[in-house]
Chain A
């Protein structure tokens, strides 16, 4: 941007008589600018956007960018780890390399299994610069002790070999984080105490990324995923590193084989122990996990609510059924009572009718008797008999209503023999017309 372009043209000489304050003379202004859209692409645009958004000038931006670039390289250098060296460690015997903490030797205890090969290489270089035997000699330390240098070489060699590094990482107890005691958990934050434990254990997982413990707000799903993951943990942890050395002196194949067998057994045993240990660890964590209780409670609360709703529903149904039953019974009872009353009513009416008929019949019979059987004097037995026979005949042929009507007519007729006879005659005549009697059958009223 700030590149200098060289123009091969020559500038005019200063005309005589030209003068200005500080040799600068403004003589005009620029013509109006045109607003246009620049295309937001390319590195120069990005620089423009940066300047505009942060309101920087060209030189400011250049300076800041330069500073940032410088900082980056500095950090790279600075990242190197300078840890204090334990004098005990410095005096280690290189022959005992298996027991040494390789990360501590290289000063990478902060990183351990997280250290990148790049970091290991840099740490190695740094340590070598300090501990090279030649340097020691130059500094006047005459003892030819290059043990620690050998330790460094051993550590680097091992850590840069991915297979051997895994073997060491598998048994690197310094990277383990012990699970907190129950007391600690009761006092402190469960998630803060247990989280790092699983983070450390997670380094052995074949499956990455490893789900984290989370916090009290984690969803049930994530918590379940977490525990499922840990109960089905797929670990690459192995225990070759702790193998007993196989004697290489050719002392005998048998001994060699025996040691191999022993080693294999030991590995298997340790592996199963490790699996058991992890399972116990997860069990312990699960037992203390408040979230599980919370979820269970929630589930139970949900279940209870459901059950209660179910019971209420059943209760309601029963009540309804009972009410319906009672209603029905009442209805039945009412109906029965009504029927009974009706029956009695009918009976009464029937009796009344019967009585009325009886009374009317008496009136009928009485009427003829009152008029002395239509006889002028003392009625002869035969006449009485004839009249009564006819009366009975008519009575037998007429129904209750006609009987009542006839009775009332006869009552009006009273003791007038002619009227009574006329009434009887009319009645018998009507019966004949109705076809109930044959003409001539009733003779006494003619």
Chain B
């Protein structure tokens, strides 16, 4: 411990953000101008495939290693992130079908590969593989920045166990990286957006849909005053970019069979080639309406080339798309929320580039919800870079802290906090009806303080401020049935429209549920504003202060907490 502290103080800490994924990893840092930037490796890749390959003792990494999946698959290790810190029984070996197969070694997972010049094959544990991968990432970052990188914030899935975390920290340490903190991938994605200079701190509920290469994770996160609380998560370990690749592969394989009467999928090398090229084609389809696929000597020395357009691809992938959107709906339900509650949907991960997924998701949510994906929003950040950027931002925040300081800050003593179960707000009148608007939303971490200004009644005078808890209800109104006689000769399009219009109109209505306190501000000038400050203690005690803006005296009151 003492050594570590001394070491840190002697050599200056230089931290980056690392997003370590099953299929690809990214490294990012905060530039001197305060902007997050993802670093390209020597080959110019910003999404570096998490793959290592060995030929005659030489190590290949990233894209070069990925190409080895065709020729040198048994000495190529891929998709190993999820195996770290797990025992052999509990891993899913399917993604590694076309690379080095995982094996049991003691209590961990290992790969048998020829990683030296000698003919004998070595058994390398997944921790060692991770160390080598991280060492390469570190080297790339160091080369790019011209300064030794020795610390990092690494993103992990929300369901990473303590054993996995420890294994990752140990592997990183072996690679010469001090792990400042492990942060959750979806939170990193939210932070990547919130760290933008133009972003403002608002209370919002965010769905982060992380569609990666081999797995998909969706989380609902409550952002309250810049603090993040995960309300629910859902995982699908079989759904991801690979599922879409499979659609493309099957499509081209069928076309090939028609022409040449052989199935390229039955040949291991043919399948590997199709997979590699198919992935490229699928990615190209996210950007353009047409994409090509051409493979030399696919099977039996036959060169194959074909094109596919986006519409065809989207038709074929309908089922897979439904799985993606289903996962999103599932997690919203799990969080006991309604789609109307969601303010923002952030798409993260490589498969999120697919335009149709974001469009389908946009259909689930009301129009007020912001969908942050490249195909729906121009201001969206590249989904593949989100976690790395968030990690880099966090790294820049904690870089100066002592290891002990960080450890204390992320201790459950600090992170576990009471959250408001119901929204707190102030009653007001509109159109002679009493209504309610939340000031502190539900799921706000305590202690919390909010200040708001309300307009006083037009004529001024004495004003009542009624602080109460509110409940949200979904009001469903049937639209007035339209008379069909009006448009008897409509074409199909408007028929379709009228179908949609007949859907129920759903909206959020706030209701006062439980009044907490009443305050009076007397003699408010006409047209003036009233400022309300509410402070909630962790023990649910309240301090409320109300004053007229510009006024000197405030009305204060406190309600003792339960504990």
Q: How far is the CA of A24 from the CA of B520 in the complex (A)?
A: 7
Asked if B456 and A33 make an inter-chain contact with CB atoms under 8 angstroms apart, the answer reads no
Alpha-carbon distance between A1 and B445 when the two chains are bound, in angstroms: 13
How far is B530's CA from A4's CA once the two chains are assembled, in angstroms? 12
- Whether the pair A12, B514 counts as a contact (CB closer than 8 A) is no
Other-chain contact of A4, B390, B451, B538 (Cβ < 8 Å): B451
Q: Is A22 an interface residue (CB 8 A)?
A: yes
Residues of A1-54 at the interface with B, using a CB-CB cut-off of 8 Å, are 1-15, 18, 20, 22-46, 48-53
Q: Which residue of A lies closest to B409 (CB)?
A: A49
User: In the bound complex, do residue A29 and residue B562 qualify as a contact, i.e. CB atoms below 8 Å apart?
Assistant: yes
Q: Cβ of B311: which chain A residues have Cβ within 8 Å of it?
A: none
**B542: CB under 8 A from chain A?**
yes
A14 closest partner in B (C-beta): B462
Residues on B with C-beta less than 8 A from A295 are none
Q: Can you list, as one digit per residue, whether each of B543-562 has a CB less than 8 Å from chain A (1) or not (0)?
A: 01000000000011101001
Given A10-B455, A11-B465, A14-B462, A42–B430 Cβ distance below 8 Å? no
Known contacts being A13-B463, A24-B557, A30-B424, is A39 close to B518, with CB within 8 Å? Answer: no
Are the C-beta atoms of A33 and B419 separated by less than 8 Å? yes
Asked if B516 is an interface residue, CB under 8 A from chain A, the answer is yes
Bound form: Cα–Cα A53–B516 in Å? 30
* Pair B540/A30 contact, Cβ less than 8 Å: yes
Q: Are B453 and A33 in contact (CB under 8 A)?
A: no
Interface positions of A from 29 to 88, Cβ below 8 Å from B? 29-46, 48-53, 57-58
Q: Is the CB of A38 within 8 A of B424?
A: no
In the bound complex, CA of A285 to CA of B360 (Å): 80
Chain A residues closer than 8 Å to B457, beta-carbon distance: 10-13
**A9's closest neighbor in chain B, by CB?**
B428
| Bound Cα distance from A133 to B409, whole angstroms | 56
What string of 1s and 0s marks CB contacts (under 8 Å) between A411-422 and chain B? 000000000000
Chain A residue contacts of B183, Cβ below 8 A: 39-41
In the complex, which residues of chain B have a beta carbon less than 8 angstroms from the beta carbon of A7? Answer: 437, 452-455
B228 touches A28 (CB 8 A): no
- Contact flags B396-422 to A (C-beta < 8 A → 1, else 0): 011000000000111011111111111
Query: Chain A nearest CB: distance from B480 CB in Å?
Result: 28
**Contacts A2-B449, A3-B201, A9-B454 given: A35-B416 contact, CB under 8 Å?**
yes
Is the Cβ of A36 less than 8 Å from the Cβ of B454? no
Given A7-B454, A23-B555, A41-B394, also A35-B419 (CB < 8 A): yes
Q: Which residues of A contact B518 (CB under 8 A)?
A: 18, 20, 24-25, 27
Give the Cβ gap from B178 to chain A, nearest Cβ, in Å: 17
Interface string of B436-457 (1 = CB under 8 A from A): 0100000101110111111111
Q: Do A20 and B520 touch across chains, with their CB atoms under 8 A apart?
A: yes
Contact for A44 among B201, B417, B463, CB less than 8 A = B201
Is B522 at the interface (CB under 8 A from chain A)? yes
Interface size class of A (residues with CB under 8 A): 35 or more
Q: A23 touching B522 by the CB < 8 A rule?
A: yes
Cβ–Cβ contact A11 & B421, under 8 A: no
User: Which residues on the A side are within 8 Å of B542 (C-beta)?
Assistant: 30
Give the residue name and chain of the B residue nearest to A52 (CB).
Answer: B414
Q: Give the residues in chain A near B435, CB-CB below 8 Å.
A: 9
Contact partner of B226 among A30, A31, A34, A42, CB < 8 A? A42
Q: What size tier do the contact residues of chain B reach?
A: 35 or more
B451 engages A5 (CB within 8 Å): yes
With A12-B434, A13-B462, A45-B227 as known contacts, state yes or no: A5 contacts B409, CB within 8 Å.
Answer: no
Known: A11-B454, A14-B462, A45-B228. A34 touches B194 (CB 8 A): no
Interface presence of B272 (CB below 8 A):
no
> Which residue of A23, A26, A40 is within 8 Å of B559 (Cβ)?
A26
A58–B194 touching, CB < 8 Å = no
The answer to whether A38 touches B415, judged by C-beta atoms less than 8 angstroms apart, is: yes
CB distance from A214 to the nearest CB of B (A): 15
Chain B residues with Cβ under 8 A from A13's Cβ?
A: 457, 461-464
A43 CA to B469 CA in the complex, in Å?
A: 29
Answer whether A12 and B428 are a contact pair too, CB < 8 Å, given A30-B516, A37-B415.
yes
Describe A's contact surface by its main secondary structure.
Answer: mixed
Residue B100 is within 8 A (CB to CB) of chain A in the complex: no
Contacts of B464 in A (CB 8 A): 11-15, 18
* Bound complex: CA A20 to CA B464 (Å): 12
- CB < 8 Å neighbour of A1 from B201, B414, B422, B466: B201
- The verdict on A44 contacting B226 (CB below 8 Å), with A10-B429, A11-B456 known, is yes
User: Once bound together, how far apart are the Cα atoms of A7 and B536, in whole Å?
Assistant: 20
- When C-beta atoms are compared, the residue in chain B nearest to A6 turns out to be B453
Q: Point out which of A32, A34, A35 has the most chain B C-beta atoms below 10 A from its C-beta.
A: A34
Q: Does B64 contact A (CB under 8 A)?
A: no
Identify the closest chain A residue to B422 (Cβ): A31
Chain A: CB-nearest residue to B195: A42
Tell me which of B68-76, B184-192, B318-326 binds A. B184-192
Nearest CB to that of A36 among chain B residues?
B419
Contact A38 B229 (CB under 8 A): yes
A28-B516 in contact (CB<8A): yes
Query: Is residue B337 within 8 Å, beta carbon to beta carbon, of the partner chain?
Result: no
Are A11 and B418 in contact, CB atoms less than 8 angstroms apart? no
Given contacts A24-B519, A36-B416, A43-B226, contact A11 B394 (CB under 8 A): no
- Confirm or deny: B517 has a beta carbon within 8 angstroms of a beta carbon on chain A: yes
Listed residue (A13, A32, A58) with the most chain B CB atoms within 10 angstroms of its CB: A13
When distances are taken between beta carbons in the complex, the residues of chain A under 8 Å from B415 are 37-40
Report the separation of the CA atoms of residues A280 and B536 in the bound assembly, to the nearest whole angstrom.
73
B427 within 8 A of A: yes
Once the chains bind, are B514 and A31 in contact (CB under 8 Å)?
yes
Q: Which residues of A contact B226 (CB under 8 A)?
A: 1, 42-45
Chain A residues near B422 (CB-CB < 8 A): 30-31
Q: A9-B430, A14-B462, A53-B409 are in contact. Are A40 and B181 (CB under 8 A)?
A: yes
Q: Are B430 and A33 in touch, CB under 8 angstroms?
A: no
List, in ascending order, chain B residues with CB within 8 A of A11's CB.
426, 428-429, 454-457, 463-465, 530
Task: State the CA gap A49–B521 with chains docked (Å).
Answer: 35
Q: Which of B228, B427, B544 has the largest count of A CB atoms less than 10 A from its CB?
A: B228
Instruction: Output the least CB separation between A210 and chain B (Å).
Output: 14
Q: In the complex, which residues of chain A have a beta carbon less than 8 angstroms from the beta carbon of B176?
A: none
> Does B96 sit at the interface, judged by CB under 8 A?
no
Question: B490-521 vs A: 1/0 string, CB under 8 Å?
Answer: 00000000000000000000000011111111
A residues touching B (Cβ–Cβ < 8 Å)? 1-15, 18, 20, 22-46, 48-53, 57-58
* 8 closest residue pairs by CB, A with B: A44-B226, A24-B557, A33-B418, A14-B462, A49-B409, A40-B410, A39-B228, A23-B520
Can you list 27 pairs linking A and B with CB atoms under 8 Å apart? A4-B531, A5-B450, A5-B451, A9-B454, A10-B428, A11-B428, A11-B530, A12-B457, A12-B466, A13-B464, A14-B520, A15-B464, A25-B519, A28-B514, A30-B469, A35-B416, A36-B231, A36-B416, A37-B415, A38-B417, A42-B226, A42-B228, A48-B417, A48-B445, A52-B413, A53-B409, A58-B535
Given contacts A9-B455, A29-B516, 12 further A-B contacts (CB under 8 A): A3-B201, A3-B451, A7-B453, A11-B464, A13-B463, A22-B555, A22-B556, A27-B515, A28-B468, A38-B416, A41-B188, A52-B417
